[in-house]
Structure 1
Amino acid sequence: MRVTHLGHACLLVETADRRILIDPGNFSSGFEELTDLDAIVVTHNHPDHFDPERAPRLIRANPRTPVHTDPLTAESLRSEGLAAVPTRQGEEFEVGDVTVTPVGELHAFNHDAMPRIPNVGVVLRADGEPTLFHPGDAYDAEPGPVDVLAHPLNAPWAASRDSIAFVARISPSVFLPIHDGLLSQQGRQMYSGHVLQFSGVEGLDYVDLRDDESATF
């Protein structure tokens, strides 16, 4: 498995000879020119996860690529004449030899004045490859055993104590910070350091990918 961090919450995951793009949002860059994708996946309909301008252009530029999104984003795309399959918890689908398991239902609570929208994280599994979990914007999903956790490091909805507890509960082999577009480098180091120091996960491998950097697992 090769993972490229395209900024903030956007990942290009290459596994089992498939290329899966997750959450092309407006804090991210480098996804606009991608072609030959095997799937585009969106966890929820906030612009930092689904850029309302560039993501539809990407979909039009990849007309044979299946698009799987939370129900709200699927509805939005259909209104633009674009096809998308709504993802729902427990309804697995296949991308070649990769099994994608949707987990979770709602975005994390932020504020009483902000309605909670659908948020469906995804677990990617394939024989002989590590398992990766991208939760979108929530810490409450139950993904099962996870090798690589793409962990939302910072957000208006996220308290550090909950972030640390999430990593402790999932207990991955690899801690890969994402959702970091609001942080300075010093802030990223502080938040990541708290996770490493306090989560209690033995042997946790910290992989710090900057924008447009890749790692192979």
Structure 2
Amino acid sequence: MKITQIRNATLLIDYAGTTFLIDPMLAEKEAWEGFSGTARSHLRNPMTELPVGVEELIKADIVIVTHTHMDHWDEAAQKLIPTGKLIYVQNEEDAALIRSQGFSNVRVLRDDNVFIHGLTIHKVDGQHGSNEAYAVPHAAEGLGDACGLVFTHHDEKTLYIAGDTVWVKPYVKTLKRFRPDVVILNTGDAHVDVFGPIIMGAEDTLRTLHALPDTTVVASHMEAINHCLLTRQALREYTREHGIEDKVLIPEDGETLAF
């Protein structure tokens, strides 16, 4: 298994001989405005350039979009990814949206599992913000649903991509059920006004290791979008302070990790 951190939540995963492009955000640096109603909304997004050429990314066998927020599926991705590329999404609503954008080979990840080229992908639940945020209709609508992904294969380590979620019971349930060897956490500590964080932060790396001491945590979704407040350097300092620096990997954009 190889995991390449591209930018933000965009990942290139080589797993059991199949390559997956996860949550493609392919715009040039500062192509669009910051998200209104979020921290540091005056900053333009993306805040960094892509570390590799788009032509390399779109060679991936399969695209998976965990949800259709702009920092996971942007206009550049919609223009640059071939319309016949196989794309998996979390639900029929997202499938309808992406089909309306001109894509002809869109499939839905079912609630049990999907078998692809000899490997299995399990769609799992998360929650893209606090209970308080989801209790407010307009906030809940804006946050929407976002899934996680568990990859399994008899010759590979089990991989859990948690996706855009905070620490909630479904996340813990997934850790206990699959006992993944590698957990990719979106640890940018993204904040929206009034309701605070909508993805994980530094403390969630430690909590994950308390729940599953033998796993390796990979930190993603950092330093590329205006409302992500946790930096790589701050997370490194946190892991050193808590003695978990060997269990939490913090790849730079363009860096590949092999397991």
C-alpha displacement of 1:89: 2.9
C-alpha displacement of 1:193: 4.3
SS in 1 for 2:24: coil
Number of residue pairs matched by the alignment: 208
Residues 12 and 20, structure 2, Cα contact 8 Å, conserved in 1: yes
SS in 1 for 2:13: strand
Partners of 2:72 and 2:77 lie apart in 1 by 9
Partners of 2:53 and 2:180 lie apart in 1 by 25
1:98 maps onto 2:125 in alignment:
no
1:67 maps onto 2:87 in alignment:
yes
Q: CA-to-partner distance for each residue in 1:116-144, whole Å, 9 max, x for gaps?
A: 41111111112211111111111433332
Structure whose alpha-carbon radius of gyration is higher: 2
Change (3 A) 1:10 1:193: farther
Partners of 2:216 and 2:23 lie apart in 1 by 20
Return the TM-score normalized by structure 1: 0.81
Unpaired runs of at least 5, structure 1: none
Partners of 2:98 and 2:87 lie apart in 1 by 10
Give the fraction of aligned pairs with identical amino acids, expressed as a percent: 24
Return the TM-score normalized by structure 2: 0.70
C-alpha displacement of 1:151: 1.1
User: For 1:32, which of 28, 50, 54 is the aligned residue?
Assistant: 54
C-alpha displacement of 1:94: 2.1
Structure 2 partner of 1:54: 76
Change (3 A) 1:23 1:114: same
Structure 1 partner of 2:41: none
Backbone CA RMSD of aligned residues: 2.7
Q: CA-to-partner distance for each residue in 1:123-169, whole Å, 9 max, x for gaps?
A: 11122111111111114333321011111112222465455434433
Residues 38 and 95, structure 1, Cα contact 8 Å, conserved in 2: no
C-alpha displacement of 1:188: 3.3
Q: CA-to-partner distance for each residue in 1:39-62, whole Å, 9 max, x for gaps?
A: 1111112111111x122224326x
Structure 1 partner of 2:139: 114
Unpaired runs of at least 5, structure 2: 28-45, 192-197
